[in-house]
Structure 1
């Protein structure tokens, strides 16, 4: 009986993980379909220094109501993460961890670009690895 419960728990966890991955994949595809990319860079809107000296940046290009933004970590290390949060109500609530990326090699990585339209605010966030403190730039 105990083995059946463990198998059922494992299957349930796998189904939840697969569902979450499918959801994040759908979100990622939507941003790319909206015409955003990371080139050309017009500038860094906000930056913040993480617990281990890494730099998190919210970068952008475009103008007016046609702006795209993405997060980047530099001076990082393998295992660190970066992502973008987007808010449509001034930062009271937000869509968390859009395009989360992990530094797998080297010292930097960036997320894909996300549309920043209709008065939404964006910020870049990241950590020093799994289960470490999160650092975020200011909203822009």
Structure 2
């Protein structure tokens, strides 16, 4: 990163869709975000950077199988106990307040349901716990 402008170097920020270039751009923009006065503004600022660095939809390139479309963007606010996520297939952001979840029981959230929006803590359904394969 030190080779690029804004980190001590001279070349401008890289602009390809390679993961390393997208990481440099995201780092640059995160470093320049203004202080947020509310959690909602902090989330919006971080999501703007993540969207900027996301790999857009497109036809996979067989010559570059390591580059694929971004499907999810997630935020984990450990201070306020909020886990937020957005799907690239939906214009809406959903979140869960972790203090409202019962971690003593297994539950799932069906993310394929159209119209998920906002706090989805009451949309989790009971399910069987995962069975892990033994070695």
**Larger proportion of strand:** 1
Task: Pick the structure with greater CA Rg.
Answer: 2
Q: Which has the higher contact order (CA 8 A, sep 6+)?
A: 1
- Give the TM-score of the pair, scaled to structure 1: 0.25
